[in-house]
Amino acid sequence: MPRIIYVEYNGTRHEVEVPKGLTVMEGARDNGIPGIEADCGGACACSTCHVYVAEDWVEKLPPKDPMEEDMLDFAYEPDPVRSRLTCQIKVTDEMDGLVVHMPEKQI
């Protein structure tokens, strides 16, 4: 099972196994990871599951679709390269070791 590493804004790390096919957001929700609120439940209708993907993972993930790009405009301090919505990242075996950093807050 792929391991996803969630890093809170204060530096606290949470390494959890997330089943393939779930999203990175569902992995956070199911494991009680603080910092990913996911108010819309994964419908890509808010930006409360925003994270910054570790630089060495940016090119390894599928590209953002236009809907995700639009929703990231509402995120807290989005980074044009590293910001992603975790509800839009489906976990695969190739994502073992993925590191995502939470922003200071979700809006």
What are 28's two structure tokens? 């956070």
78: domain CATH number?
3.10.20.30
Is residue 85 included in any domain, yes or no? yes
Is residue 72 included in any domain, yes or no? yes
Is residue 107 included in any domain, yes or no? no
Q: What is the phi/psi pair of residue 98, to 5°?
A: -55, 135
Is residue 95 included in any domain, yes or no? yes
Q: What is the pTM of this model?
A: 0.97
Is residue 73 included in any domain, yes or no? yes
Confidence category of residue 63, pLDDT binned at 50, 70, 90: very high
Is residue 106 included in any domain, yes or no? no
16's enclosing H/E stretch is: strand 13-17
pLDDT score at 65 = 96
Q: How many domains does the chain divide into?
A: 1
Domain that holds residue 36: 3-101
